[in-house]
Structure 1
Amino acid sequence: MATRDKSPPSTPTTTPPPKTHASSHQIPPIALIVYPITLLVGSLYSSISPTARFPHAHPAPLAPSIATDINLSSPPESPVNYFARKDNVFNVYFVKIGWLWLTLAFASLLISQPVYRKTATSSGRLTQATVRYALATTAWYLMTQWFFGPPVIDRSFVITGGGCERVASGVAGAAQAATGAGEVAALESVLTAAACKAAGGKWAGGHDVSGHVFMLVVVTGVLVCEGVGVAGDAICKALSFSTGEEGNRKDEDEGEKGRVWVLRFVLAVAGLGWWMLFMTAIWFHTWLEKWSGLTIALGTLYAIYFLPRKVPAWRKVVGMPGV
């Protein structure tokens, strides 16, 4: 009598990978190595280059409203490099308002890319993208602006022995010495770099985590992860400024042309952010200060863009670009 074949043993169920949009791509974690390489090359250059090692080549840093803004002495009249000047155009109109540029670029992606069009699925993607932006903004705000009082960077500076000191040199120093202990106590009670500068003091003596490195790494990382995730297939078109395919370009509708220019804008912001990060690696901060800022920034990017790939519950909250 024939026997029926036994059904194969059941296998334990696993969480299936998320369904991805047709054009979605994800940045591999190894790509983050570009940041330590950038800091390493810049730091090495600052150590071995006679120009970068010149004692007066380090003016006040480029970072906005954080401890590094006043940790160094006043800038010389003639900096040895344009990017070592606090008033260089890229610092004034890009770095000092860096989060505004990130916000504009991020918003342009949400408005222009088809993956965020108004459908049931895209509505969820839009919400998750907003959560990712909110998390990055919160990290930036707590680190550089406010953390139940002074920001994390200023708090760490004070905890490691730093504080607000009077600028005393020559005749000015003698005049300040005669002002009495009251002014000294007032300066010592200042707990933020911005307040110290406003009081005429100098932020010195502690470990100054590079807020400039932190901000620029997060800005470039967020934009690259988002841009590649939602429009990976369009990146090459965005990078191509060739006019040799006039026939094909005439067939493109205005919406597609607009999306291409949005991607160019996003890539331009990310590219300039990387360049200013490289300039920071050369001209400002100690090795440890730069690498501590980098470590915090990479932790922020990992939590927002790479941890969701391994933790389904977290992926449901923050999602993945283009997924």
Structure 2
Amino acid sequence: MTSAQPPSTPKSIRPTISTPHRRTNSASHASPIDIKPKSPAARRMSMTSTSQSASLTPQTLAQRIVENEQLMLAGLVSSLMLCGILYSLIQSTSLDTSEIHHHTLPHRAEYFARKSNVFNVIFVKRAWGWTSILYLLHLFSSPTIPSQIHTGLGGRARRLGIWMLATIAWLVFTSWFFGAGLGDRIIALTGGNCAVQLPTGVDLKIARETFPSLFTAGEKSTTTNGRIYVPLPHQYCSGTPLTPSTFPQLFSLIPSHSDIHATSRHESLQALPRPRWHRGFDISGHAFLLTLSVMVLGRGLAGTWRSWSSTASGTKSRTVVKRDDGYLALIHRWSGIVATGLVGIWCWMILMTGIYFHNPPEKLSGLVLGLSTAYLINILIPPSTPSSLVNPTSPSSRPISGIGGIFDENAARRGGVIDDGVIYENPAESDSSDEAVDKGKDKTD
């Protein structure tokens, strides 16, 4: 039994299937020349998309560090502190400030080893005041940010929040809201004692009967030649005033104490010197505060530094804000210059702290605490600025991030970055680029 065979189609009437001609040298993707968008803006984007995508090559670790001001500043202050500690260990220049008698030692020969040096008296003792003044001046004199970019935590609100968080951290360390600051609490928890030097002329027999725990400190730790100290409750080293009404048993030992009026400007007329901590783990307040000041000021000045860098390298940045040459622009310019100089002073004093004051663990703890505080602020208010100006011709260019870290491709092709990383576009420049594209199209046609 045979199965039915389908009828065969004659070769003459079979349909012919033709294949369109393909270019052997054509690329696997459409070229901007083959596709000509109608809109000028679309043509501009089309002509730059291929070159922009090709320029986004992976960055090396060194490039990322150079383009991140916070990492660079953290590396700078850490290097200065480590170099200062190393020098102090080799040359034995550091003074152990946890010992109470270091306040009565004679002045050291090195100028920056004295607490009376001009940088310490004028700047470091009021470090957060100087930092706050210049930071806020630079902030509120900055150009107005467009409303569509100023939403959420962008612009001035974001930068003001950074300063507020840093101020809270400074207050927590120096004077806690519910008593002593964090530094004083750590000293007390690690075995430190609050004490005051007993003035001369006091009857030692009566003093020992009143305070059985008198102690001496210094090279000559004897009751005859050494200085005698009276231990006090911890609150007298944390802001509670020491007066005849708050601690009468001590003032009763001082002859004619009622005739001595304490004054903050004439320490020699005070009935008793200022109470101070003895022993315990004393975190370097200078290391903490100066590190935090450098990191906060550096973040506020990052846009200005990038603008200066682009100007020096010849890179053109675009601005949509018309900045007049009035007082506000002058204040903004000079506040950036002075604040940059202040960052240099803080860095120098970090080095001097590493060389001349505290023991190594206390200096390192202050450095780590300052860097950790800055890192926490960066987490709570993450930077919305890109690392650098976009240069489409550079092989290591990176995309520009918008508010919240979202990549804005259009702004990356047309915009520049100034101040707080805000992307601006110059309409005149966009129009001129449109005309250039149109002329090129006409010539091609």
Equivalent residue number for residue 100 of structure 1: 129
Secondary structure at the counterpart of residue 121 of structure 1 = coil
Equivalent residue number for residue 9 of structure 1: none
User: For 1:37-61, what per-residue CA distance to the aligned partner results, in whole angstroms no more than 9, with x for missing partners?
Assistant: 11111011112126x26xxxx49x7
Shift of 1:171: 7.8
Distance 1:172 1:42 in 2: 42
Equivalent residue number for residue 142 of structure 1: 172
Going from structure 1 to structure 2, the CA distance change for 1:89 and 1:31 (only over 3 Å counts) comes to closer
Conserved in 2, the CA contact under 8 Å of 1:235 and 1:263? no
Indicate yes or no: 2:185 matched with 1:164: no
Equivalent residue number for residue 18 of structure 1: none
Which 5+ residue runs of structure 1 have no aligned equivalent? 1-24, 62-67, 240-251
Indicate yes or no: 2:60 matched with 1:32: no
Equivalent residue number for residue 234 of structure 1: 307
Aligned partner of 1:109: which letter? H
Distance 2:310 2:207 in 1: 64
Distance 1:183 1:197 in 2: 21
1:291 to 351, 364, 379: 364
Conserved in 2, the CA contact under 8 Å of 1:238 and 1:263? no
2:110 to 81, 95, 119: 81
Shift of 1:236: 4.0
Distance 1:139 1:176 in 2: 45
Secondary structure at the counterpart of residue 74 of structure 1 = helix
Aligned partner of 1:49: which letter? Q
Secondary structure at the counterpart of residue 306 of structure 2 = helix
Going from structure 1 to structure 2, the CA distance change for 1:103 and 1:175 (only over 3 Å counts) comes to farther
Distance 1:30 1:268 in 2: 17
Equivalent residue number for residue 237 of structure 2: 193
User: For 1:77-101, what per-residue CA distance to the aligned partner results, in whole angstroms no more than 9, with x for missing partners?
Assistant: 4421111222221111101111111
Distance 2:86 2:305 in 1: 34
Conserved in 2, the CA contact under 8 Å of 1:165 and 1:188? yes
Going from structure 1 to structure 2, the CA distance change for 1:169 and 1:226 (only over 3 Å counts) comes to same
Q: Give the superposed CA RMSD.
A: 3.8
Shift of 1:234: 2.7
Going from structure 1 to structure 2, the CA distance change for 1:192 and 1:285 (only over 3 Å counts) comes to farther
More helix by share: 1
Aligned partner of 1:134: which letter? M
Distance 2:333 2:203 in 1: 58
Shift of 1:75: 4.8
Distance 1:224 1:157 in 2: 31
Equivalent residue number for residue 218 of structure 1: 292
Secondary structure at the counterpart of residue 165 of structure 1 = strand
Conserved in 2, the CA contact under 8 Å of 1:196 and 1:203? no
**TM-score, normalisation: structure 1:** 0.69
Going from structure 1 to structure 2, the CA distance change for 1:176 and 1:265 (only over 3 Å counts) comes to farther
* Larger RCO (CA under 8 A, 6+ residues apart): 1
Aligned partner of 1:102: which letter? T
Which 5+ residue runs of structure 2 have no aligned equivalent? 1-66, 215-229, 243-271, 313-323, 385-402, 405-418, 423-445
Shift of 1:73: 1.6
Shift of 1:167: 3.3
Conserved in 2, the CA contact under 8 Å of 1:163 and 1:191? no
User: For 1:165-189, what per-residue CA distance to the aligned partner results, in whole angstroms no more than 9, with x for missing partners?
Assistant: 34369987947844613997x9431
**Residue correspondence of structure 1 range 1-323 to structure 2 within 5 A:** 26-27=68-69, 29=71, 31-49=73-91, 52=93, 58=95, 71=100, 73-114=102-143, 116-117=144-145, 119-122=147-150, 124-167=154-197, 174=204, 177-178=207-208, 180-181=210-211, 187-191=231-235, 193-195=237-239, 200=273, 201-228=275-302, 230-236=303-309, 253=325, 258-305=331-378, 309=382, 321-322=420-421
Conserved in 1, the CA contact under 8 Å of 2:194 and 2:278? yes
**TM-score, normalisation: structure 2:** 0.52
Aligned partner of 1:32: which letter? A
Q: Greater shift after overlay, 85-94 or 301-310? A: 301-310
Secondary structure at the counterpart of residue 277 of structure 2 = strand
Conserved in 2, the CA contact under 8 Å of 1:26 and 1:321? no
Shift of 1:191: 3.0
Going from structure 1 to structure 2, the CA distance change for 1:238 and 1:140 (only over 3 Å counts) comes to farther
Going from structure 1 to structure 2, the CA distance change for 1:103 and 1:202 (only over 3 Å counts) comes to closer
Aligned partner of 2:114: which letter? R
Aligned partner of 2:118: which letter? V
User: For 1:188-231, what per-residue CA distance to the aligned partner results, in whole angstroms no more than 9, with x for missing partners?
Assistant: 31235354895644311210011110000000111112101x32
Distance 1:189 1:108 in 2: 42
